[in-house]
Amino acid sequence: MIKKIGLLLGPLLFLLIYNLPFIIINAEADKVVAIAVWMICWWITETVSISVTALIPLCFFPLLQIMDIKSTASSYGSPIVFLFFGGFVMALALEKVKLHKRIALNIVKITGTTPNKVILGFMFATAFLSMWISNTATTVVMLPIGLSVIDLLKNDEDGFTQGDKNFALSLMLGIAYAANVGGVATIIGTPPNTVMIGFLEQEYGIDISFLKWMIMGVPFSIMMILLIYFVLVKIVYPNGLGVKNDSKEIIDSQLAKLGKVGPIEQRVLLIFMVTMLLWISRSYMNEWFPIIKLTDAGISMLAAFALFTLPFNFGKHTFILEWNDTKKLPWGILILFGGGLALASALSKAGVIDYIGELVSSNTALSVLMVGSLLIVIMLFMTELMSNVALVAIFTPVIAGIALGLNVNMLHLLIPITMASSCAFMLPMATPPNAIVFASGYIKVHEMAKAGFVLNVLSVLILIAYMTYVIPLVF
């Protein structure tokens, strides 16, 4: 019913605002606001795919003479779109050769075999993978391995005790939550990061390097993993279980099935490592070798190009990736980036962002801390109910205007609020990882909400501290 209402309400709100007998901001800005309201309505209700909604600017901006087709389409071909495309291609290669599963199993193996250490190992393995491949794919990889460990507890001599249930609950929630916060560590780890960085680059020429983001993002992800682990196993769902050597056998058997690291895995790993190294050392490489100009998007595309063109078997003319493999690539997310950037560009050019800034600057009672804290809370709890990517696409231009009005560095507001969009822990529909582990049957909604509410509150406090003390040091 909500989707049906949303389908009709979006265009109706657009027509209503477009045909108002008075001017809200100015004639040009009001047209953009009308389109924005339509997009927000469809993004919130998800009446059609959020990627389809992102095509609205491409269809209607030229028609309504907001921006011509060339300017609008340029947002869909932004460098940030190609940065994420290269990341997706690299993720496809990792998945195709099952290298992501090998990495995850080895991380879990290192952490130990007591139940709580198994949970921690799964969380760190999930978070590491989520830094490089989608949180959905990461959860899909980790879930069956986790379920194998839980099956041991169900079939042991004492049956499925309350302690076993708490272990299963903590393991499932730990995988989902780690997938969510792990992506915060890198630019390509989660789409909201990319949407925000693309907006800054396109509208304000602000370039955030891969290394600089990791300096801030990796400590945050580690801190959140440890906090989530402590809340799950020590406060909300303690299991009190002793050593379970069988879990080690499961990990070993899974690794044995993968066999030895083959030549194709070695090549993918080499390309992956070189790409990471180039991302991290990009600014230094540009200084040392002035004849080249490396960018994060360029490095990403070089990695994708290498995976498609370096022969795996020259005699048979086979490659690591074939173009057919891109059937699994989430093209819709790339369109979503473009739509969000086109909307942000139109809002900026029409003066809507400046208008928001003037409104905020005229209110002297607002402090940066108060506004930032409120926006973090709004973002974090709203993302429980709607797509975090769409939410960030909606919020970034608004927050930029607020930052201008408060006369503060917009990064100090935009970054923590974008990070908040990846901290949805309460509801199954909040993120794909939450939904995937909920489908395992070991979690009830109230159990996820109980742990999630505690973590949401703690996340707000950590993000406020990050906004106040950490982000100003890095940026």
Across 211-231, average pLDDT: 95
Asked whether residue 156 is domain-assigned, the answer is yes
pLDDT at 38: 94
- Domain carrying residue 291: 80-328
How many domains is the chain built from? 1
33-70 pLDDT, tens digit per residue, is: 999 999 989 988 888 988 899 999 999 999 999 999 99
* Encoded tokens for 36: 């924005």
CA-wise closest residue to 456 among 422, 419, 425, 414: 425
Residue 9 has a CB neighbour count (10 Å cut-off) of: 19
Element (H, E) at 113: none
* 390-422 CB burial, b ≥16 within 10 A, e <16: bbbbbbbbbbbbbbbbbeeebbbbbbbbbbbbb
62-113 pLDDT, tens digit per residue, is: 999 999 999 999 989 988 889 889 888 988 898 888 888 888 888 888 876 6
CA dihedral sign, ordered 375, 72, 303, 145? positive
Asked whether residue 362 is domain-assigned, the answer is no
Asked whether residue 175 is domain-assigned, the answer is yes
Please check the confidence at residue 184 and state whether its pLDDT lies above 90: yes
* Encoded tokens for 207: 């370039």
Asked whether residue 383 is domain-assigned, the answer is no
Asked whether residue 441 is domain-assigned, the answer is no
How far is CA 61 from each of CA 15, 52, 276, rounded to the nearest angstrom?
A: 14, 15, 38
Asked whether residue 271 is domain-assigned, the answer is yes
pLDDT at 284: 84
Task: Provide the strand spans (E) within 334-443.
Answer: none
Across 335-356, average pLDDT: 85
pLDDT at 462: 96
Better pLDDT: 140 or 463: 463
Element (H, E) at 313: strand 311-313
Asked whether residue 66 is domain-assigned, the answer is no
Asked whether residue 428 is domain-assigned, the answer is no
pLDDT at 40: 86
Round to whole Å and give the CA distance between 188 and 172: 24
Report the mean per-residue pLDDT for the chain: 88
Across 354-363, average pLDDT: 76
pLDDT at 245: 59
pLDDT at 101: 85
